[in-house]
Amino acid sequence: MTDIHIRHDGHAGRITLKRPKALNALTYDMCSAIESALWAWRADPTVKLILIDAEGDKAFCAGGDIAEMYATGIKGDYAYGQRFWRDEYRMNALIAEYPKPVVSFMQGFTMGGGVGVGCHGSHRVVGDTSRVSMPECGIGLIPDVGGSHLLAHAPGRLGEYLALTTERMGPGDAIQAGFADLYLPEDRWDGMKATLCASGNVGALSKAAKPAPNAPLGDAQAQIDAHFGAGSLSKIAASLRDSDTDFAARTYAKLSRNAPLSMACTLAILDRLRSDKLDIRGALDLEYRFTSRAMEAGDFLEGIRAAIIDKDKSPKWRHDLNTVPATDIEAMLRPVSEEPLTFEQQE
């Protein structure tokens, strides 16, 4: 398979994404290959750690390959997208719960589906080019692939801010928000990968890591907490509108571009994750409730049309910031009875 290179390298099981011209976007077959390799390596005593990286300078992985989802969904066939999400989420949980160290090196863009592959492991490495984000609310989805679990554990209301604004994090912010662990200058990555494969010991990572760069979002934490702790989407929007700061004006403009139903459901998911203390599986289950309905009852197809197909950047969302009824949120987040998400190894 040319899109991904899976092999043994010394004491490591190695996974390298190989679609640099497509910013290493994940296809369905790539997700399946990752899952199969991880299951095979769990019981292999010669594999001491997993190392995940990607070719190219621009991106570790800029998300999932959504072209086929759009092509099938626009015809009223939602089964392909639902199957893709079910199988992808099972792979995300496998990484998060893996019994061996999982090391990821995330250069450039790590977005959406890339977060699901790179940000659930035990040792997540970023460098100066790293830009990590959950951009889903901008295309009518919610932060998924387990991203909601990371967001729910970010300091204060940083999770709400990152989800609703789709803000990109540099290396310092990614570590501050809990999406990464270690900063290492990228000119040292190849040597570190060789060391890890040769030794099978992740101890070298912490010894080589450098102090994280500045985290600008940390400087804005007080403002983020004040506005994004307001409660509902309409109250957050009102808090930002009523403020005369540049931060509030910039942030309100970002919210105004994104899908209100997605943002309102994201807030509900983060609240439930915190209040019920749900684990990664609970987060993925809540995410699947939304994504499984996103094409038929949500704004996903319109979001993709505006951003990717027609590229007019003018989506016509179903709601505005002040009119997302609680019944619509509840409908998107009710349990899935047909073809539910499961986490067992597939035959």
pLDDT surpasses 90 at 66: no
Q: What is the largest CA-CA distance in the chain?
A: 60
Mean pLDDT, to the nearest integer, of 7-27? Answer: 97
Domain membership flag for residue 41: yes
At 291, give phi and psi (nearest 5°).
-65, -30
Q: Of 109, 122, 96, 78, nearest to 292 (Cα)?
A: 78
Domain membership flag for residue 92: yes
Domain membership flag for residue 273: yes
Mean pLDDT, to the nearest integer, of 34-59? Answer: 97
CA distances from 159 to 142, 165, 208, 296 (A): 12, 10, 29, 27
pLDDT surpasses 90 at 22: yes
123: containing domain = 1-342
The mean of the pLDDT values for the chain is 97
pLDDT surpasses 80 at 245: yes
The predicted model scores a pTM of 0.97
d(CA 129, CA 341): 35
Domain membership flag for residue 310: yes
pLDDT value at residue 347: 73
Per-residue DSSP letters for 214-273?
A: P-HHHHTHHHHHHHHTS-SHHHHHHHHHT--SHHHHHHHHHHHHS-HHHHHHHHHHHHHH
Counted domains in the chain: 1
Domain membership flag for residue 80: yes
Question: Residue 346 — pLDDT band, cuts 50, 70, 90?
Answer: confident
Domain membership flag for residue 287: yes
Q: Of 222, 218, 195, 217, nearest to 206 (Cα)?
A: 195
Domain membership flag for residue 347: no
281-285's contacts with Cβ under 8 Å and 24+ in sequence apart are 281/93, 281/343, 283/146, 283/148, 283/149, 283/152, 284/89, 284/92, 284/93, 284/144, 284/145, 284/146, 284/149, 284/341, 285/341
Mean pLDDT, to the nearest integer, of 166-195? Answer: 98
Question: 3-class SS at 308?
Answer: helix
Domain membership flag for residue 203: yes
Mean pLDDT, to the nearest integer, of 300-325? Answer: 95
CATH of the domain at 26: 3.90.226.10
CA distances from 131 to 25, 45, 167 (A): 15, 35, 9
Mean pLDDT, to the nearest integer, of 152-159? Answer: 98
pLDDT value at residue 68: 86
Q: Tell me: the pLDDT tens digits for 71-104?
A: 999 999 999 999 999 999 999 999 999 999 999 9
**Portion of the chain with pLDDT greater than 90, in percent:** 96
Whether 173 and 215 have beta carbons less than 8 Å apart is answered as yes
